Amino acid sequence: MKRILPVENPIITHDPPIANLFSILGTEPNTESWVMNHFVNLYIHKDEIFDNFYDRNAFFYGCPWIQVVQIRREIVLRICSRIIEYVKALIDEGFYVYCMGNTEYISAYHNDRYWAHNLMVYGYDDVSQTFYLSDFFENGKYTRAACSYEELEKALQTAQMNRHFVNLIYGMKLKEIEYKFEVDMLLEKLTDYLGSVNLFCKYRTRMDEEFYSNKGGNAYYYFSYAEMKDLFYFGLSFYDKLADMAEKKSLRLKRPLDLLYEHKLLMSRRLDFLWNNRYMRDSDYDKLKRTCDDMVRLSLIARNKYLKDQIRSSGPSQKSLKERILEVQEKDRIWTEAFIRALNRPV
């Protein structure tokens, strides 16, 4: 038997859950309206240990298009003789499989020692004994690859899942729903972004990544919202943290700079969606689009400068990375204010 579920190249790939979610949603054009209502705000932890889009925090549960089932590995092994039998059963029912695997057993990773990573399985072929996977296999690029049945079984059997926040095997399936884009929701999110509002506190949500507050074993530290208020930089204050990291020459800057770049890419795509669906005037779109694409360019330059600075020192005449970050921040502030005004104008 053979079953391969459809996947698309995602428009953003900041981490596996986002890349996998967008890869699935990209197969259904009607999901665009939901995407454009979300992924507006971003955050970074004060200790530089995590950064992401706020909507990533909802994992797959916050997306109305996705039905989620989950089960622990030890339960699967009580039911099935091999984990891959459960993986195949999920795929047969139209579920994409998201799980933690020990990559040293999957040749596509080119890794020869223990390293567990969360991957997505979207198909299988009994004739060739092959599974089809999506993940960041080489050089941090999200791509697709294949592995044998035995490779995946060993990878899933030997991953020390209790050491990671993903300690379950997930199934994700697209549902058929109708979703209506809400301008007022977008306006509220843009206003929160402009005001650097801590959304964990505003909406009484918290990070799913309990791994980052693990006290050892299965014990976790439950942060109060008063504590969380001071733990994260949201919205425009995200730049303040990046500027501080640049000044201190932090070695953790690549991820948040990648996130900033993808944030601008998605904003540019959002503008196209709003204009195509007549939510803004042509004149407003033209001005906003030019500035947004300029922010895409400048954020990419900032990221590339950081990468170059890791190899060699910058010349004395060049702008510092901190200056480049603050330059994008000021453009972003002015642009977001103009964006809000444009959405409040009747078309």
Sign of CA dihedral 274, 275, 278, 282: positive
- Indicate if the pLDDT at residue 305 is higher than 70: yes
pLDDT of res. 315? 53
Looking at residue 317, its pLDDT comes to: 46
**pLDDT for the residue numbered 217:** 58
The total of other beta-carbon atoms located within 10 Å of residue 145's CB is 16
pLDDT at position 214, please?
Answer: 53
| Helix residue ranges, H only, 145-253 | 149-158, 183-194, 199-202, 225-229, 237-247
Q: Give domain 2-28+65-174's CATH architecture.
A: Alpha-Beta Complex (3.90)
Coil, strand or helix: which one is 38? Answer: coil
- CA nearest neighbour of 104 among 156, 165, 142: 156
Question: What share of the chain in percent tops pLDDT 70?
Answer: 90
Q: Residue 138: what pLDDT? A: 83
Report the candidate in 110, 91, 86, 85 with the shortest Cα–Cα distance to residue 24: 91
Mean pLDDT of the residues in the chain: 91
Q: Which residue has the tokens 């889009």?
A: 53
Which DSSP helix (H) or strand (E) runs through 41? none
What mean pLDDT do residues 288-311 have?
Answer: 94
Q: Which segment of 113-122, 153-162, 338-347 scores lowest on mean pLDDT? A: 153-162
The pLDDT of residue 154 is above 90: yes
Region 277-281: mean pLDDT is: 97
CA distances from 299 to 184, 189, 329 (A): 28, 21, 10
Single pTM value for the model: 0.92
* pLDDT: which is higher, 149 or 204: 149
Minimum mean pLDDT among 98-112, 129-143, 157-171: which range?
A: 157-171
CA distance 227 to 339: 32
| 6 vs 175: CA distance, rounded Å | 14
Among residues of the chain, what percentage have pLDDT more than 90?
78
Which helix (H) or strand (E) is 42 found in, with range?
strand 42-45
What is residue 310's predicted lDDT score, i.e. its pLDDT? 82
pLDDT tens sequence across 162-184: 554 556 899 999 999 999 999 99
- DSSP string spanning 67-81? EEEEE-HHHHHHH-S
Phi, psi of 172 (to 5 degrees): -125, 130
pLDDT digits (tens, 9 = 90+) for 182-222: 999 999 999 999 999 999 999 988 766 544 455 555 556 66
Confidence of residue 43 (pLDDT cuts 50, 70, 90): very high
| 249 has a pLDDT exceeding 80 | yes
Q: Which of 76-85, 102-111, 264-273, 307-316 has the lowest mean pLDDT?
A: 307-316
- Cα of first residue to Cα of last residue in the chain, in angstroms, is 53
C-alpha span between 215 and 272 (Å, rounded): 45
**Better-predicted residue by pLDDT, 60 or 100:** 100
Q: What is the pLDDT of residue 211?
A: 43
C-alpha distances (whole Å) from 21 to each of 15, 187, 195 are 10, 24, 28
Q: What is the DSSP string of 205-225?
A: ---S-GGGGEEETTEE----H
For 242, the token pair is 């990046």
- Delimit the domains of the chain by residue range: 2-28+65-174, 183-344
